[in-house]
Chain A
C-alpha cells in the first residue's frame, strides 16, 4: 500500500453569474497519482495549472466556491474524502504538514516564534508544555536556525525571508509528519538561500523518513530534489514518472515544450515554442486541453487521451504517446 493514493480527483469552482446562471470552472480533472513513503514527488506546471489546488484538495483546505466533485484520497490507509472534518483537522498539521510560499504571511505576527512552535505541538500531541518547548528547540536546531535559544524569542517581523521559511519548516516538523507538502517553498527567495532551504528539506526527508510533495514551477528544483515528477496542465497530470526517465524521454508534447523552454535547453531565436494562452477553465475544449496549442494535434485529440505506459512507472496522457517523433 502506498502512503498516498489519489484517484480521479475532480475539484471545480461552482458559482453563479450576474444572470444567476451556474458557472463551473473545471480546475482539477481526474488527478490520479500515488506516493510511496519516504519518496519525493515534484509537481510542475505553469501558473494556474492546479498544483496548489491539488494540495488543498488533498488536505481538505478548500474554501467555497471550490468543491471536490468526486475522487478519492487515501492516506496511510485512511480515506480522507470520507473523513469527518475534525479528524481531518487532527491529521493535518500532524501526519500531513504543509509549507507554503510567502513564509512571513504564514506566521502569526503577534506571537513569538517559539510559542508558535509550541502551540502547534500542543494542539496535536498535547503533553507537558516543557516537552513541547524542548521539541521546539530541537526542531529549530534541525532546520539550521543559528543560536536557537535567542532566536526562539524573536518576532516574525525580525526574521529574514530565509529564516522565516526555516521557522515554517520547523513548525511543519513539530509533530513528525509522514508527509510534507511544500508549495513553492523557495519562490521569492534568493538562489543561495533557495539552495540552503532545498538542501535542508532533502536532508530532513531522509533523516525523518518523510515523504514530500514539492510544488514548483522550476524544473531545476524537480530535477535535483525529487524522485518522481508529475507534470500538470489545465488541471490534469499529463505525464508522470521517475525524474530521470521523464527528463531523458519526455513523452507528452507539453512536457517537451516545458523542458525545451528551460534556460539549459532553450535556443534563443531557434525552434518553435509552445505559444498561446492557458485554456479557459470555464470552457475547456473536449478531449485533450492542449489540443488548440499542440503541433501534433489531430481530430482524435477531441476525445479524452488515454493514460499510456511508455516506460517503467512512466505514464503519458496523450493519444500519440510513444508515437511522437523524438
Chain B
C-alpha cells in the first residue's frame, strides 16, 4: 500500500470556555488517514468538531495534542512561516464563497493570486494558466474581468475551487463546500469536484453535515460524534450496514427524496450533551438505546467489522448487541 498523504493521530483540540477555567472539548483523540487520490468524507452534526479537525489539518488552528503528518512530514508544530509554503500542497475550499473572496479584486486576479504566492511563473504564464483554470471549472472567460458581486454563489464557489487547484495540491480540505447552494447548483459543483479529482488525483477531505452529499463524493466516510470518530467505512458499507448505534440513528433520520422509500426510525432522545462536560466512557452512552453499564466507564476502541475497511467504536459490537431495533414511522 502506498503511504497516506495525510495521517492524523490522537488529535485533541480544546478551547477555553470563556473565563470559566473550563474547556470546550472540540476534538477528542481523533485518528484518521487519507491515501493519495482518495476522498474521505466526514459527517457529523453541528458542533461535532468537523471544522476544527479541518482547520487543525490546515494548521489554521493549533492542535492541543496529537500528531498530524502530511506528505511524510510532521506538521503538528511547524512555525507560522512554514505554514504558508505548505498551502501550495494543501489547499482549502469553505462553505461561504462570498466571504472567502476579496470583493475588490477581479476574479482573474483572485485566481492568479494563489499562483503568485506559490509558483514561480512569468506574468504571461500566469495569465494563460488563469484562463485554463477558468475553463477547468467551467467559468466563462468574460467573468475573469468581473468582480465577485457580479457572480452567483455557484459561480463564486467555482472561483474558490479554481484557486484551490491552481497549485496542483496533494490534498484539498473542503468544509461544507455545497451547503449554502441550491440543489441544482450543488449538483453542478459535485460534478465539478468529481471531474477535478479524476484529472488531478488530488486527495480530498470532504466535510459536510449532509449524509446524501457525502455519500455521493466519498470513497470512505468517517462519522463523528462529540469530537470523536465513532465509525469509519467505505461509503456503501456505511449506508448498507451502519454498525455504531449513533450512525444507525443518523442514517435513520435521513429523508431520501423518494416517497416510496420506507423510513425505519429509531430517533434519538434528547440532544447532544455539552462538549464542556463530556460524558464518561463512550460519550454516546447518555443517548444510546443499547448502552450497557460498561459503556459508562470504558472508552471503546475501533472494532473491525467484516473484512472491508470498516471500523466502529462500540463496546457492544463483539457480542452483536449494537443493533437498534427500528420502529416504523411516517
CB within 8 Å of B: which residues of A?
Answer: 46-47, 146, 160, 162-163, 190-196, 198-199, 202, 217-225, 243-244, 247, 257-266, 268-269, 273-275, 277
> Are B256 and A223 neighbours in the complex by a CB distance under 8 Å?
yes
Closest 10 pairs (CB-CB, A-B)? A263-B212, A220-B255, A262-B257, A195-B253, A219-B257, A190-B45, A261-B187, A46-B182, A223-B259, A191-B253
B194 at the interface (CB under 8 A from A): yes
Beyond the given A190-B46, A260-B187, please list 19 additional residue pairs across the A-B interface where CB-CB is below 8 A.
A46-B182, A47-B182, A162-B271, A190-B209, A190-B272, A191-B45, A191-B211, A192-B253, A194-B253, A195-B265, A196-B267, A199-B330, A202-B330, A218-B257, A258-B184, A263-B212, A263-B215, A268-B190, A273-B188
**Bound CA span A163–B249, Å:** 19
**Bound CA span A91–B220, Å:** 53
Min Cβ gap A258→B in Å is 6
> Are B250 and A191 neighbours in the complex by a CB distance under 8 Å?
yes
**Using a Cβ–Cβ cut-off of 8 Å, how many residues does chain B contribute to the interface with A?**
43
**A221-B255, A224-B263, A262-B257 as given contacts; A273 in contact with B187, CB under 8 Å:** yes
Which of B183, B255, B272, B329 counts the most A-chain CB atoms under 10 A from its CB?
Answer: B183
> Are A264 and B188 neighbours in the complex by a CB distance under 8 Å?
no
CB within 8 Å of A: which residues of B?
Answer: 45-46, 152, 182-184, 186-188, 190-191, 194-195, 198, 209-213, 215-217, 249-250, 252-261, 263, 265, 267-268, 270-272, 329-330
> Are B182 and A192 neighbours in the complex by a CB distance under 8 Å?
no
List the A side residues contacting B213 at CB < 8 Å: 263
> Are B250 and A262 neighbours in the complex by a CB distance under 8 Å?
no
Min Cβ gap B181→A in Å is 9
**Bound CA span A160–B47, Å:** 13
> Are B256 and A220 neighbours in the complex by a CB distance under 8 Å?
yes
List the A side residues contacting B217 at CB < 8 Å: 268
List the B side residues contacting A274 at CB < 8 Å: 184
**Bound CA span A263–B271, Å:** 26
> Are A199 and B267 neighbours in the complex by a CB distance under 8 Å?
yes
> Are B257 and A259 neighbours in the complex by a CB distance under 8 Å?
yes
> Are B183 and A223 neighbours in the complex by a CB distance under 8 Å?
no
> Are A262 and B212 neighbours in the complex by a CB distance under 8 Å?
yes
> Are A263 and B255 neighbours in the complex by a CB distance under 8 Å?
no
List the B side residues contacting A265 at CB < 8 Å: 257
List the A side residues contacting B212 at CB < 8 Å: 220, 262-264
List the B side residues contacting A199 at CB < 8 Å: 265, 267, 329-330
> Are A192 and B45 neighbours in the complex by a CB distance under 8 Å?
yes
> Are A263 and B257 neighbours in the complex by a CB distance under 8 Å?
yes
> Are A218 and B184 neighbours in the complex by a CB distance under 8 Å?
no
List the B side residues contacting A220 at CB < 8 Å: 212, 254-257
Which of A146, A244, A260, A273 counts the most B-chain CB atoms under 10 A from its CB?
Answer: A273
**A192-B250, A199-B329, A247-B258 as given contacts; A266 in contact with B263, CB under 8 Å:** no
**Bound CA span A193–B257, Å:** 18
**Bound CA span A61–B217, Å:** 42
CB nearest to A225 among chain B residues: B330
**Bound CA span A266–B211, Å:** 14
List the B side residues contacting A218 at CB < 8 Å: 255, 257
